[in-house]
Amino acid sequence: MNLNILRLLCVLLLSVGITALISASAEVHPSERGTVGVSVRAINYSGKEVVLMVRNPKDKTNSGGGDALNPYGIGGSVCCFGIPAQWHPGYQVVVKYNFYPDEEWHEQLVHVPPYPAGIADDIWLVMREDGEAEAIVSSFGPTRPEWPGRTKGWPVPSRAYAAKVRNDQLATKKGMLQLMERGLADGSVRTKEQTDRMKSAIEYTKAQIREMDAVQP
């Protein structure tokens, strides 16, 4: 056989083999055709302070988040985490979290529901009141009907937590008032302007305390 013809046949066979291999890979791994980097957001529906993070269970280098949230708090946008450009059945991530002041970290493997409207957007990490975590990819917030999370709307503090916050703030105001009153009576030499400013601050703080005392959480 002519050497040039043999070379041509070898090139053709190699090309066909590579094409078949690429096609087979695409069929076996349809979910890996593309990923996009998105911001990580967080919502805390629980009465505990929590730090929320996310990672890909198949790729430990792909992780994100880390917002520290107050009870019933909302985090900002933290860059970045890679998600599939298109949702596929069985898509899972690991939500990693830590409740303050507990130093132990916990993990939950969770299913990510279908992207609303098929849009690959921010991934929201959610801590529910019952301690169950969620991970939701959505361009719609929790107040929208498209939101696929199990809990709807923004976090609402419990009456017990609202009372605790009020009492802490009231105690802080009363402590400030005591310090200012002691400072005014300590005999230090002040100008009339300085004394008037201190008296004005004392009266203002007293008014704030009366308002807070009058409001029941």
Name the residue with tokens 């719609």: 140
- The answer to the question of residue 95 being in a domain is yes
188 or 3, which is more confident: 188
For residue 1, the model assigns a pLDDT of 45
Name the residue with tokens 């430990």: 60
Q: Do 18 and 53 fall into the same domain?
A: no
Q: Do 93 and 165 fall into the same domain?
A: no
User: Above 90 in pLDDT, residue 174?
Assistant: no
As a whole-number percent, the residues of the chain with pLDDT over 90 amount to: 62
User: Tens of pLDDT along 3-58?
Assistant: 344 344 333 444 434 344 333 333 333 344 599 999 999 999 999 999 999 999 99
- The answer to the question of residue 4 being in a domain is yes
For residue 217, the model assigns a pLDDT of 60
CATH code for the domain of 95:
2.60.40
Q: Do 87 and 106 fall into the same domain?
A: yes
Q: Do 77 and 113 fall into the same domain?
A: yes
Q: Do 14 and 85 fall into the same domain?
A: no
- The answer to the question of residue 167 being in a domain is yes
Q: Do 40 and 82 fall into the same domain?
A: yes
> How much is the average pLDDT of 161-186?
86
Contact between 153 and 144 (Cβ < 8 Å): no
Q: Do 52 and 130 fall into the same domain?
A: yes
Contact between 138 and 147 (Cβ < 8 Å): yes
Strand, coil or helix: what is 16?
helix
* Least confident piece of the model among 48-57, 76-85, 120-129, 159-168: 159-168
Q: Do 102 and 193 fall into the same domain?
A: no
Give the DSSP H or E segment for 60.
strand 59-69
For residue 5, the model assigns a pLDDT of 41
Q: Do 111 and 181 fall into the same domain?
A: no
> How much is the average pLDDT of 187-212?
90
As a whole-number percent, the residues of the chain with pLDDT over 70 amount to: 84
* Domain span at 194: 159-214
Q: Do 81 and 170 fall into the same domain?
A: no
33 or 180, which is more confident: 180
For residue 17, the model assigns a pLDDT of 43
For residue 16, the model assigns a pLDDT of 39
User: Above 60 in pLDDT, residue 171?
Assistant: yes
Q: Do 119 and 210 fall into the same domain?
A: no
Give the global pTM. Answer: 0.69
For residue 216, the model assigns a pLDDT of 67
Alpha carbons 21 and 70: distance in angstroms, whole number: 51
Write out the DSSP string of 129-182. TTS-EEEEE-SS-TTSTT--SSS-SS----HHHHHHHHHHHHHHHHHHHHHHHH
Arithmetic mean of pLDDT over the chain: 85
Structural domain total, the chain: 3
User: Tens of pLDDT along 64-110?
Assistant: 999 999 999 999 999 999 999 999 999 999 999 999 999 999 999 99
Q: Do 58 and 106 fall into the same domain?
A: yes
